[in-house]
Structure 1
Amino acid sequence: MKKVFAVLLLFLLPFHQHAFAVVNPLSVPNNTFGIHIIDEHDLTDAALLVNGTGGSWGYITIVVTEQDRDTGKWQRIFDRMRTLKLIPVVRIATKPDGDTWERPDETDVNEWVSFFNSLNWVVQNRYVILFNEPNHAKEWGGTIQPEEYAHVAKRFRDALKESSDDYFVLPAGFDLAAGNTKETMNASSYFDAMYEADNEIFTLFDGWTSHSYPNPAFSGPVYGNGKQSIRGFEWELQYLFRYGLSEQAPVFITETGWAHEQGQSVKPQYFNTAQIADFYEAAFTDVWTHPSIVMVSPFILNYQGEPFDHFSWRKLGSDEFYDQYDRVKGLQKTAGMPLQINTFVLSTDRIPDTFMTNSFYLIPVVIKNTGQQIWDSTTGLHIQAVGAVGERKLSKRPVPQLGPTHEGIVYIPFKTPEKESPVPLVMAVTTADGTIVGDIVSKMVNIREPQSLWGQIMSYMSEN
């Protein structure tokens, strides 16, 4: 039997029609549980937390600074999230200058776009948050400039959208407890000034980011109401409706949570962790059930020092967690089904031009995963030869387990006809029920009698 080979032929074939536009994450089964992390080494613990007890595809809020735009590092992080079935929500940050974050330079937007475009994101929606609590001077170069924030946010939003409509662009979360002082501005005053600077600013975002903390002093009641409660997002939606923000805007609560008494020093003015575990159970089951909530990521899974040691879910100097971790882990969750872009590259390029009649071959076909999904036994995809003499009578073989950017070989059985003739050998990827997905690739091959083929070989040898 002849040995045949296959190499990669660059035909990009989609599994589904990719519309290049954000998808409402609430239009598919969605796991609202999330957590805020600062270190990729916390991803496994985060996955056990947000995907525990029936869940999958929980959310991770994580920060990328302009000094940390390392494609190799962040692709590794994204690939790890993909394996763990975690959805990244990425907050853009500048760089610190002492205890103050520098103001963004809008001319840096192209660097951000280039960096984000260099990554294979985990799901179709690329969730990006534009900076953090700009109604604090320390978050905006030591100044409070709502007009400038509106301008910069629009500039970044437009650049991301021009690059790809898959960017799901979110505004910064705001400190809803801040007053009008030299260092802070009340959120409503800040929103008013943003609208005065650009009366379309609140219509531009794909959803809303909320820092719905239980105040005052991060110690408010679970069932509190209003701006400074864990229902603060409801106040924001109601207030900003006048400025064009939809009351049904998808809500991302990327920061929330109670301070606990445990830390580098004990602070008895805060609740103990057993009480806080009760609070989180009540919040997730009774409060954060609003139909607009996409995710809730309490702050913070692991912080081993000041100033956030009293928010850390992990105990200081230990691999163990406080009570709220196991309590939230044990809450029933939804198996999320976020949309992922699925594309592949299929090759028939070096299948031989000639085969012998009435013979059996195993044709190796190379397939490369160029999308976002990890293919496994549940994917239900096959490669099948569908075009031999116009009859779909050839065997199919399952696509191997492959992650994005990886390729594998599938051996397709091929029984040649008994008579000489040209045969269109047509390869396609099919679903479990035989439906062809994407385009097909084809190669015309010639079927020859053994004598004729032997004569060709002898003629070639005599001429060379």
Structure 2
Amino acid sequence: MRLFLKNIQTLAVVSFFFLLITSPAYAIVNPLDFPNNRFGIHLISSTTDEASNASQLVNSSGGDWGYVTVLVESKNRDQPKWQAFFDELRKKHLIPLIRLATQPERNFWKLPYEGEEQAWADFLDNLNWPTKNRYVIIYNEPNQGQEWAGRVDANSYAQILDKTIAALKNKNQDFFVLNAGFDASAPNKAPLYQDELSFLTQMNQEIPAIFNKLDGWVSHSYPNPGFVGSPRDSGKGSVQTWKWELETLKRLGLNKNLPVFITETGWKHAEGINYDKSLPISEDIGQYFKIAFEEAWNDKRVVAVTPFLLNYQESPFDHFSFKRLTGEKQNLKILGAFYPDYYSQYETVLNFAKDAGRPFQENKAQLTHGNIYPAIVRNEIYKIPLTFKNTGQSIWNEYDTVEIRALQGEKELSISPVQLSPSIKVEPGQEATFEVQFKVPPAGKYEVALQLFSGSQPFDQTPYVFATQVKSPVILDISAALDWKSNFSGEYILTINSEDKNYRVPIFLNNLGQAPPLEARYLIPDYTWEFTLSKPFYKPKTIRANVYSGINQLDFGKLEPDLGKAFLNPQAFWQLLPFSP
């Protein structure tokens, strides 16, 4: 009855922690429920250098965990390459907004092929993302014909969006699905253009309530006309296009609040491959960004703003690039004038006060080596190394100390929490070892439930549960003989090996080849060990045996002389011979 009650108690503890840690699992979280840094940037290249440059910009001036919008073409679904990039984003504290793309063909982007939504879901689900929310943008500006096989087709895009949402969500509920940003300034001029309002209305007619299936809203809030509009303009075609879009969606039946991601915005500046004096200079653009961030985008509904774009060295986007053209005077001081690597808008965003974001990341681990033994010896003190692999998204010990605690069996076995050394940082895929120590009471059966914690928060998985029983120690009754001899007395060496432990013990046999009983408290009962008995100039003999509490017979039989080893030692060789004393 007592054991039954203890089992019920263990089940209750484990169940409580299971409910605690699994409630947010496998579902997106609201990014605005966590500290958020809305500053971001649009990238063209998914490289380590681009990630580093982006981090220096968006995580400056108090900021942390800014955003990057990155394009993935269907021909580049290279899992190792993208995993390496995601790992770099994790280290640089950047949250990816992944925009899907097909392949360019002549002057337009091809349509997704039949079933491509499943290919995307399979590829993206095989990546270990830096954060719990996996932000995916479903293609780009489909109300422009060049983005949709040369001809706008709202019905087609609505169907593909619907199928892609379903494929991603069926694969993993952590996908945070976003629409393609639309060209708010496109005219109604089929087949190359369709007005955004008309396009959205037609989408909603084709797939009723399609916008309610989204997790957030992507907006291309460009300052039009000509990408040179005022930062204080409002309405459609301005830096506040996103507000007009949300109002439009409400009229089309949207019944929830969608967080906003402005993944494209920005002004064209005069500087470029060919200087364009009709455009504002970069110093003015810097002031425009300052006004927009303070007034147009300083809204609690806006999660991220990733201006277009960090670095582009060719036409047609050289006039949008934050980075100066290669070959321009850069990072030089000539006649008192300083020429930085970037244009003025970069410096403005760099110096803008930012919030330190802290997105939700999953903490997970896999026990790869070690366990709490099912049988333990009374009154012994054990130090058991348990090795865990980081299978989550966070870097262990980056913020809070990671430790292992006993949820059950803590008092009975005197198990204290074990912390990971502060100097150790464990990235996903790497391993760390915790040495758990406990003292065994005189008797009893116990349940041990171990859980990893990051600070005060348990890892996002069920505890590791072990059952163990206190037993009396293993006693070894060892016997052996020597070939050609009648007196077997002398010193022998007993080597004991298991998968992760080894011991070397001197053994003394009497003339009958019998050793005094050996109480081997260090041996785990009910466990298989490899025993090797050796004596100089004799061939060692090995026995594999499962040992139990109490007396265990180990009869090694006869050890044969090793004449080859003794040949160069005349005295030892003589002692091995049958007629020697």
TM-score (norm 1): 0.90
Counterparts of residues 12-23 of structure 1 (less than 5 Å):
16-17=21-22, 18-23=24-29
Match of 2:97 among 89, 95, 100: 89
Where 2:432 maps in the other structure, the secondary structure is: strand
Partners of 2:34 and 2:552 lie apart in 1 by 63
Residue 428 of structure 1 corresponds to which residue in structure 2? 451
Measure how far apart 1:444 and its partner are. 1.4
Aligned to 2:311: 302
- 2:359 match: 338
Q: Is 2:140 aligned against 1:132?
A: yes
Q: Is the 2:218–2:260 contact (alpha carbons within 8 Å) kept by the matching residues of 1?
A: yes
Which residue of the partner structure matches residue 277 of structure 1?
Answer: 286
Q: Deviations over 1:84-108 (max 9, x none)?
A: 1111110100000122100112421
The answer as to whether partners of 1:346 and 1:441 remain within 8 angstroms in 2 is no
CA contact (8 A) 1:386 1:392 kept: no
Q: Is the 8 A contact 1:389 1:423 kept in 2?
A: no
1:324 to 2:417 alignment: no
- In structure 1, how many angstroms separate the alpha carbons of the residues matched to 2:110 and 2:459? 52
Provide the residue aligned with 2:206 in structure 1. Answer: 197
Q: CA deviation at 1:174?
A: 0.7
Q: Are the counterparts in 2 of residues 237 and 247 from structure 1 also a CA contact under 8 Å? A: no
| Alpha carbons of structure 1 residues 362 and 181: separation in structure 2 relative to 1, 3 Å | same
| Other-structure match for 1:454 | 518
Structure 2: distance between partners of 1:299 and 1:33 = 12
Report the more deviating stretch, 419-428 or 155-164.
419-428
Counterpart residue type for residue 393 of structure 1: S
Q: Partner of 1:366 in structure 2? A: 387
C-alpha separation between the residues in 2 aligned to 1:219 and 1:180?
Answer: 22
Contact kept? 1:57, 1:336, Cα under 8 Å: yes
Tell me the SS of whatever aligns to 1:286: helix
CA drift at 1:44: 0.7
Q: Show the counterpart of 1:235.
A: 244
1:188 aligns with 2:197: yes
1:26-425 counterparts in 2 under 5 A?
26-39=32-45, 40=47, 41-182=49-190, 183-246=192-255, 248-317=257-326, 320-346=341-367, 349-350=370-371, 358-376=379-397, 378-385=399-406, 390-391=411-412, 393-399=414-420, 401-417=425-441, 419=442
CA distance in 2, matches of 1:272, 1:90: 31
Distance 1:203 1:85 in 2: 30
- Name the structure with the higher strand share: 2
Deviates more, 1:194-203 or 1:70-79: 194-203
Over 3 Å counting, the alpha-carbon distance change for 1:143 and 1:407 in structure 2 is same
- Distance apart, 1:405 and its partner CA: 2.1
1:454 is matched by which residue type in structure 2? L
CA distance in 1, matches of 2:455, 2:310: 41
Identity %: 36
What is the distance in 1 between the residues matched to 2:347 and 2:471?
Answer: 66
How far apart are the structure 1 equivalents of 2:82 and 2:457?
37
Query: Does the aligned pair in 1 maintain the 2:450–2:463 contact within 8 Å?
Result: no
Seen in structure 2, the aligned counterparts of structure 1 residues 25 and 368 have a Cα distance that, compared at 3 Å, is: same
TM-fit CA distance, 1:352 = 5.2
Report how far residue 455 of structure 1 moved: 4.9
Where does the alignment leave 5 or more consecutive residues of structure 1 unmatched? 1-11
CA contact (8 A) 2:21 2:459 kept: no
2:362 aligned partner, one-letter code: I
1:7 aligned residue: none
The whole-number CA distance in structure 2 between the counterparts of 1:436 and 1:255 is 36
Provide the C-alpha distance between the structure 1 equivalents of 2:299 and 2:518, rounded to a whole number of angstroms. 75
* Structure 2 Cα separation of the partners of residues 337 and 377 of structure 1: 12
Q: Deviations along 1:438-464, whole A, 9 cap, x unmatched?
A: 423214154545867935789453257
CA 1:97/1:389 → structure 2, altered by over 3 Å: closer, same or farther? closer
Residues 312-321 or 53-62, more deviating: 312-321
Distance in 1, matches of 2:459 and 2:129, equals 26
Higher Cα radius of gyration: 2
Per-residue deviation at 1:207? Answer: 1.4
Deviation per CA, 1:383-438: give whole Å up to 9, x if none.
Answer: 23565585263332213531122221111233344x46666555333465697984
Change in Cα spacing, 1:100 to 1:386, as seen in structure 2 (3 Å) is closer
Could you tell me which runs of 5 or more consecutive residues in structure 2 were left unpaired when the two chains were aligned. 1-16, 332-340, 477-516, 521-546, 558-581
1:8 alignment partner in structure 2: none
Amino acid at match of 2:555: S
Deviation string, structure 1 residues 63-90 (Cα, Å, up to 9, x no partner): 1010000110111111111111111110
Measured in 1, the distance between the counterparts of 2:345 and 2:183 equals 24
CA–CA distance in structure 2, aligned partners of residues 27 and 391 of structure 1: 40
**Contact (CA 8 Å) 1:36, 1:301: kept in 2 or not?**
yes
- What letter corresponds to residue 264 of structure 1 in structure 2? I
Question: Is the Cα–Cα contact under 8 Å of residues 363 and 459 in structure 2 kept in the other structure?
Answer: no
Aligned 8 A contact 1:421 1:448 in 2: no
User: Cα RMSD (Å) of the superposition?
Assistant: 2.7
Aligned mates of 1:215, 1:392 — CA distance in 2: 70
- In terms of mean alpha carbon deviation, does 290-299 or 103-112 score higher? 103-112
Q: Is the Cα contact below 8 Å between 2:474 and 2:552 reproduced in 1?
A: no
SS of alignment partner, residue 461 of structure 1: strand
- SS of the equivalent of 1:414 reads strand
Q: Distance in 1 between matches of 2:410 and 2:309?
A: 62
Structure 1 residues 424 and 23: CA distance shift in structure 2, 3 A? closer
- Distance (Å, rounded) in 2 between the aligned partners of 1:429 and 1:235: 47
Cα separation, 2, equivalents of 1:210 and 1:68: 25
Aligned CA distance change for structure 1 residues 274 and 393 (closer, same or farther; 3 Å): same
Letter in 2 for 1:288: W
Deviates more, 1:434-443 or 1:161-170: 434-443
Deviations 1:330-356 (A, max 9, x none): 111111122122222236755556655
Q: Is the 8 A contact 2:99 2:138 kept in 1?
A: yes
Closer, same or farther: CA 44–397 of 1 in aligned 2, 3 Å: same
